[in-house]
Amino acid sequence: MLTALQSVLSVIIMIGLGFVLAKRGWFEGKAAALISRLVVSIALPAYMINNLLGGYDRQGLLSMLPGLGIPFVAMISGFILASLLAVLIRIPKGRRGTFASMFSLSNSIFIGLPVNMLLFGDESLPFVLLYYIANTTCFWTIGTLGIANDGAELSGGPKPSLLSLSGLKRLLSPPLVAFIVAVVLIMLEIRLPKWVMDTGKYLGNMTTPLSMLFVGIVVARIDWRKLRFGLDMFVLVAGRFVFTPLIIFLLVKNGDFPVLMKQVFVIQAAMPAMTQTPILAEAYKADSEYAGLGTSLTTLLSLISIPVYMAFVGKMF
């Protein structure tokens, strides 16, 4: 419990610092986008390669792969549940796919990764990455399809296909490429020189603080006047912080999986909606303002939910 509380304080301080600096004008213009690119394109790939190659061999890697199906099942189940709820509570057709995407898919990198690192240490990284692979795949397939359907509904255009070339390209993000490279090197039992590993370590150490600063910037930019807590937002918040983690919990509770994997998956499932959702909604001419409100609201409320989950996840299994 003490370790969890200390980790909570670290998260709050780093997010708070990002918030204060953003309010003071330190991150005007493209500064926030630069931090995002640094994390996704440089720090996180370096962190993955250094930690995976430094801590896992072929047998250890193979032993954790059976858990990959769990987050896929949970996310697809969550997406189906969200789609049914969207009809039940009469969310307009031009918002249902966006709602389902925010309901079922979480911010597993910018917030989920550093939270797990602070709470469980480097040992949690492989399980964080398993969840990330499933989350990224689902976002750029069923999530993108749902948002694109919203755009087609609003604009009167043709319905999109499930798999597109642009979606497949986005799947191959720098973190996922780094993961694939690390897995190949481990399976071939190839070790990188010490200077390469040290470089990865130093660059990778930027991941957690930069991610937390970025979250603070996002919270600082929330337009409080636009936040509305209607029935759809209430259900969205319940889905993000209750239903989706509950689905994961039920799937792994009695399974023969490592306790750490179970804990990491629950934490990952309880993160706020993905920050890319409003960007994708804008690109597909869906309701980007609605996506922005849902993302902002869940990010804001995660400042309450994250400490709760961090404090009690150790008692769940």
- Domains within the chain, CATH numbers bracketed: 2-24+38-315 (1.20.1530)
245 neighbors 131 (Cβ within 8 angstroms) = no
Residue 105 has a CB neighbour count (10 Å cut-off) of 28
Q: How far apart are CA 214 and CA 18, in angstroms?
A: 6
User: Highest mean pLDDT range out of 108-117, 230-239, 291-300?
Assistant: 230-239
Instruction: Give the pLDDT mean for 40-59.
Output: 83
Instruction: Give the pLDDT mean for 193-221.
Output: 86
Enter the pTM of the model: 0.80
Written as one string, the DSSP assignment of 132-175 is HHHHHHHIIIIIHHHHHHHHHHHHT-PPPPS--HHHHHHHS-HH
| Whole-number pLDDT of residue 242 | 95
Q: Point out which residues pair with 106 in neighbouring strands.
A: 273
Helix, strand, coil share of the chain (percent; to 5): 80, 0, 20
173 neighbors 136 (Cβ within 8 angstroms) = yes
Is pLDDT of 4 > 60?
A: no
User: Among candidates 296, 235, 275, 263, which has minimal Cα distance to 3?
Assistant: 263
Q: Which two tokens stand for residue 222?
A: 């929330």
Kindly indicate the confidence band of residue 86, based on its pLDDT and cuts at 50, 70 and 90.
Answer: very high
Q: How far apart are CA 160 and CA 147, in angstroms?
A: 10
Report pLDDT digits (tens) over 280-306. Answer: 787 788 888 888 888 888 888 888 888
The answer for residues whose C-beta is within 8 angstroms of residue 118's C-beta and 6 or more apart is 7, 10, 11, 208
Is pLDDT of 1 > 60?
A: no
Kindly indicate the confidence band of residue 216, based on its pLDDT and cuts at 50, 70 and 90.
Answer: confident
- Mean pLDDT of the residues in the chain: 85
Q: How far apart are CA 278 and CA 182, in angstroms?
A: 31
Name the one residue in this structure whose structure tokens are 């930069």.
210
Is pLDDT of 108 > 90?
A: no
| Whole-number pLDDT of residue 160 | 63
Instruction: Give the pLDDT mean for 100-119.
Output: 88
Give the DSSP H or E segment for 55.
helix 44-55
Q: Which two tokens stand for residue 202?
A: 């130093």
Report pLDDT digits (tens) over 157-186. Answer: 766 665 566 556 655 678 778 888 988 998
Q: Which two tokens stand for residue 200?
A: 């990865």
Kindly indicate the confidence band of residue 254, based on its pLDDT and cuts at 50, 70 and 90.
Answer: confident
Is pLDDT of 23 > 70?
A: yes
Kindly indicate the confidence band of residue 196, based on its pLDDT and cuts at 50, 70 and 90.
Answer: very high
Kindly indicate the confidence band of residue 7, based on its pLDDT and cuts at 50, 70 and 90.
Answer: low
Q: Point out which residues pair with 161 in neighbouring strands.
A: none
Instruction: Give the pLDDT mean for 51-55.
Output: 80
b/e per residue 248-287 (b: at least 16 CB within 10 A): bbebbeeeebbebbbbbbbbbbbbbbbbbbbebbbebbbb
- What SS3 class is residue 273? strand
